[in-house]
Amino acid sequence: MQQFFRYGLIGIISNLTVYCLYLLITHLGLPSKIAMTCTYVVGAFIGFFGNKNLTFSYTGKAVSASIRYVMAQLSGYLLNLIALFIFVDRLGYSHQWVQAAAIIAVAGFLFLAHKHYVFRNDTSHS
């Protein structure tokens, strides 16, 4: 539960910041999927260090964790992109609300991926 709480705290701070940036750059005219791509990269970069050190206290090999982290983030990015494509482009929902919901859904997916795949602290999988 402590990991989940710390993950949530880091996530709220970083995702709120990234979402505000997303709203700003879409307001300035950048298409939603391009804005999501730009802000996703920023959030993923921030998240690696925050979650590696603060949430999961990872002490394993940084290179191995980095590779797994990129793979998990690519999966999260694709989930987010698919959500925008389906709910905004096909169904006509507001990109602001879809992106807000996608951030929450992807964060849940990534918590599980980080806990059980990326930042696992056992030596048998390093």
Phi and psi torsions of 4, nearest 5°: -65, -40
Token representation of residue 23: 């709203």
Look at the pTM and tell me if it is higher than 0.75: yes
Position 126 in a domain: no
% of the chain exceeding 70 in pLDDT: 96
Largest Cα span, the chain: 49
Kindly tell me the burial class for residue 111, based on how many C-beta atoms sit within 10 Å of its own C-beta (0-12, 13-18, 19 or more): middle
Q: Among 62, 77, 86, which Cα is nearest to 113's?
A: 77
What domain range includes position 41? 2-121
Q: Please tell me the predicted confidence (pLDDT) of residue 126.
A: 44
Task: Give the total number of structural domains in the chain.
Answer: 1
Q: Among 113, 87, 90, which Cα is nearest to 100's?
A: 87
Position 18 in a domain: yes
Chain segment 43-81, per-residue pLDDT in tens: 999 888 888 888 888 888 889 999 999 999 999 999 999
